[in-house]
Amino acid sequence: MNVNSKNSPSSVASAPDRTATRRSVLRGLGVATAAGTAAVCLPAVTAHAAPAGPAARRTRGASGTYALTLVHLGRDGTPTTAYRTLLTALSGPDAGSGRELKDSPSTVTLQVPGGRYVLDASISTKPVGDENWGNDWLVQPRLDVDRDMTVVLDARVARPVDILPPVADARFEQNGVFAEVTYEGVTGFVHLLTMSPDLRVAHLGPAAERGSVRTWVDAYWSRPGGVCALGYAFRGERALNGLVRHPALGDLATLEVRAAASTSGEAAALVSFSPSEGASPALGLPVRPGGTGTFLLTPERGPWDLVYGSPSEPEVPANNYFLLGQSFTPGSTTVHTFDTPVFGPTLDSSHGARPLAQRTGDTLDLAVPLLADGDGHAPSSPRFTASTVTLHRNGTLLATLRGEKPGHARFTVPAGRAAYRLTASATRSRGSVTAAWTFTSAATATATDLPLSAVRFGPDLALDGTAPAHTTSRVAVTVEGAARQSGVRSLTVSVSTDRGATWTPAVVTGGRITVTTPAPGMTVSLRAQLTDVLGNTLTQTHIDAYVTRTATGTR
C-alpha cells in the first residue's frame, strides 16, 4: 500500500489563485486533502549528498544527463518505499517542470540534465498502534546536478513542527507546509498537506541564494463554534528545520463573524478564512442564522482573506461576500456582521467592495454596490426583484437599463461638457434603495473618477434586522466617496414611518440622527440629501430600511 497516495503533489510556479468555500479546501492548489494525509512546512538540516562511487566519476552521456541516485530511509534508519519525492528543475532544459516519484523502490536512479533543482520528499511512518501517519518532509532548495551523485533522504534528520493554540477546546484538523524557491526567474513551488499532527521537517543541502527561499506553515484547529488558524511565514536561504510555536492568547487576534437571523429556516452560512499570501488549507466554518463564528488567528502571518457564503436556494446563484487583505493586531477583536440592514450603496473598499464610477473618453462605467449590507459588505450576487439605472444629460434622458446587477451600468455619451443626472435603484423582497447623483463631465484622456458620494446609515439592530418599537435611538450617519474627500457643503436627513408618504427632518449632530421608532411590525424609511463643496449632489432614499419589533430580538 502506498501510504502517500493521498498527499498533494508539489508543482512548479508561483502560488496560484485561491478558491473559496468548501468544508475543507486547499486554497491556491486546487487539490483536496484527505484523512491521514501529511502536510508540511520547510525545515533546515544538513543534506546527505555524496558522489556516486569512490571516484565521483563524471559519466555525462551524449544526452547531456547525469545519474542522480536517491536513497530513502525511514525514521528507523532502514530503507523505505513509503515516500513521495519530487524533483523540480529551476534551470537547464527542463526548467519549469517536475518529476514525481512514488510507488518506487527505496533507491532510485534517474538520468537528469545538468542544472539547478529543488528536491523535496515526504516519507511516511505509521507508529505501532496509532491510526495516524507520521510525516517527515525533507526539502533541499538547492541541488546543483553537475556530476553523477547520490542524495540520501533520511527521515531521521527531520525535526517536529510543534504548533499549539492556547485554548483547551481546540481539535487539530490539518497542516499545510509550503516552500517557494526562486532561481534565475524560475520559481519552484512545493508543499505537503496533512490531517495528522505528527509532522516533522528538515532542510537538506547547502544554502540557496539570499532571500530566494520563502516558506510558510499554516495549521488549523476546530473549536465549538470557531476555528484556530495559526500561520507563520519566513524568507531566507534555507528551508525550515522544525518549528515550535506555542502562542499565548494575547499574541493572537480574534475575529467574530455574525450571521443574520432568519425566520425562513435557511441553512447555515459558510465562512472560509485563510492567509492572503501564499496557498493554504482553508477550514470552512458553518455559522447558523443568528449565530456567531469565532476565529483565533496569528497577525504576524500577514493579511487574511475571509469569504462569507450566504445561504442560497437551489437554482439561485451563490451570494458571497469577499473581505480580502484584512490585517489584525495582537490582542484585538474585530466583529463583522453580514446580511443585516441598512442595505444601500457603498463607495468604501475597506469591507470588500470594489466600487467603480469612472469616465474614460466617452464611456461612463458604473459598478457601485447598491445593496451592500449594514456593515458595508458588498455582495457578489445581491438579492433583488428589480433594478434600474437611468442617465440624463442636460435634462434629456439618454438611456435606461433594467434588470442588471444593481448599481452596474455602462453608457456611451457625447464628448462635450454637460450636466448629468445618474439614477440607480433596486427593489428587494422588502424595501427599496434609490441613489440619484448630479455632476458635470466631459470627455477624458484617461480613466477619471466620477464625483459620486454615498451615505451610510447605522442603526443599532438585532441580527434579524429589527429595532425595538416605540423607542428613541441614535443612528450613525457616514459620508463616503467624493464628498468625504472634497468636503460636504450641506447634508440633510429625513425619516419616514409611513413608507415615504411623509418625511420628518432629522438633524445630524455628531455624525448621528435621532430616530423614534413606530409600532411593532412597521418600518423606518430614511432619506439623505447631500451637496459637496464642488456642487455635486446626491439624493439617496431607503424605503423600509428596517422593521420594528415587540420583543428584545436577537442581538
CA distances from 378 to 58, 408, 462, 481 (A): 63, 13, 20, 15
Q: Work out the average pLDDT over 455-471.
A: 96
d(CA 192, CA 493): 57
The half-sphere exposure of 151 on its side-chain side, counting CA atoms within 13 A, is 27
Host domain of residue 363: 356-549
Portion of the chain with pLDDT greater than 90, in percent:
80
| Residue at 335 is within a domain | no
Q: Tell me: pLDDT of 29 over 60.
A: no
Predicted pLDDT of residue 358:
96
| Residue at 113 is within a domain | no
pLDDT bin (cut points 50, 70, 90) of residue 311 is confident
d(CA 44, CA 353): 41
Positions of E strands within 266-332? 269-275, 280-283, 285-287, 292-297, 304-309, 320-326
All cell numbers assigned to 309: 457564503
All cell numbers assigned to 432: 427599496
Edge-first strand listing for the sheet containing 453-458: 453-458, 472-481, 512-516
pLDDT bin (cut points 50, 70, 90) of residue 158 is very high
Least confident of 172-176, 258-262, 320-324, 548-552: 548-552
pLDDT tens track for 65-104? 999 999 999 999 999 999 999 999 999 999 999 999 988 9
Q: Kindly provide the b/e burial profile for residues 261-287, where b requires at least 16 CB atoms within 10 angstroms of the residue's own CB.
A: bbeeebeebbbbbbbbbbbbbbbbbbb
DSSP 300: G
Cβ of 126: how many Cβ atoms within 10 Å? Answer: 16
d(CA 473, CA 29): 49
Collapsing DSSP states into helix, strand and coil, what is residue 105?
A: coil
| Residue at 521 is within a domain | yes
| Residue at 463 is within a domain | yes
d(CA 466, CA 529): 25
Least confident of 39-43, 58-62, 115-119, 409-413: 39-43
Q: Work out the average pLDDT over 516-528.
A: 97
pLDDT bin (cut points 50, 70, 90) of residue 477 is very high
| Residue at 341 is within a domain | no
Predicted pLDDT of residue 36:
32
| Residue at 443 is within a domain | yes
Portion of the chain with pLDDT greater than 70, in percent:
86
pLDDT tens track for 245-304? 999 999 999 999 999 997 566 789 999 999 999 999 878 999 999 999 999 999 999 999
pLDDT bin (cut points 50, 70, 90) of residue 53 is very low
**pTM for the complete prediction?**
0.84
Predicted pLDDT of residue 32:
27
| Residue at 64 is within a domain | no
pLDDT bin (cut points 50, 70, 90) of residue 57 is very low
Please give the tally of structural domains in the chain: 1
Rg (CA), the chain: 29
Predicted pLDDT of residue 439:
98
Average pLDDT, the chain: 87
pLDDT tens track for 335-377? 999 999 999 999 998 776 678 999 999 999 999 999 999 999 9
Predicted pLDDT of residue 41:
28
| Residue at 116 is within a domain | no
